[in-house]
Amino acid sequence: MRYVAAALVLLLLPAAAQACMSDRNEAPLFVCETGAAGKYIEICAVEAEPGQSWRDIQYRFGNEEKNELVYPADAAEGAKKLFFSHVRGARSYTVNVRFRNAGYTYRVYSVARWEGDEAPAEAMDGEAGVEVKDKKGKGVALIECAERPTIFPEYLRRALACDKDNPHGAKGCAEVPPRER
């Protein structure tokens, strides 16, 4: 559990939050700026019970003026249509949020990497972004974050449906992530 708490703190440090709508009391559960002309990848939600539950959850991609993709259209369905999983490697921690839209599979991901046996107390290396695959599983887009994301893995875990299609099944959604070698 200690490594998850450390990873959580480390993943929260860098990114500037963007367009989750304050007039709707939305907060970012994941947000990063991409390298593509001020565009953002976001998962926004309204906190129903502080630190415990969320509602009206949506994935968004776009810039401050316009969203190019919002999923699901009805934010009230987000908790059922966005799927969470996570896994701990020997020197990494990966969070995935998956959904399907119009025949494509989207995977929002964040990977934190470190040297040594335990996650460090300072910032980590890693990558994050969104990948898109067609119905045959062929990659059609990979949009990477230009910065470490602001991400709240435990909030995502509590807010979203479990992605039982991950390699670890329901264990991939447990409070303590499964370990890979």
Q: What is the pLDDT of residues 122-169, one digit of tens each?
A: 667 889 999 999 999 999 999 999 988 999 999 999 999 999 999 999
Residue 9: is its pLDDT beyond 50?
no
Regarding beta strands 83-89 and 67-71, do their DSSP bridges make them parallel or antiparallel, or are they unpaired?
A: unpaired
Residue 107: is its pLDDT beyond 50?
yes
Would you list the domain boundaries of the chain?
Answer: 2-164
Give CB contacts under 8 A, 24+ apart, made by 80-84. 80/161, 81/161, 82/43, 82/57, 82/160, 82/161, 83/160, 83/161, 83/162, 83/163, 83/165, 84/156, 84/157, 84/159, 84/160, 84/161, 84/162, 84/163, 84/173
The confidence band for 19, taking pLDDT boundaries of 50, 70 and 90, is: low
% of residues, the chain, pLDDT over 90: 66
* Confidence (pLDDT) at 2: 39
Question: What is the pTM for the complete model shown?
Answer: 0.86
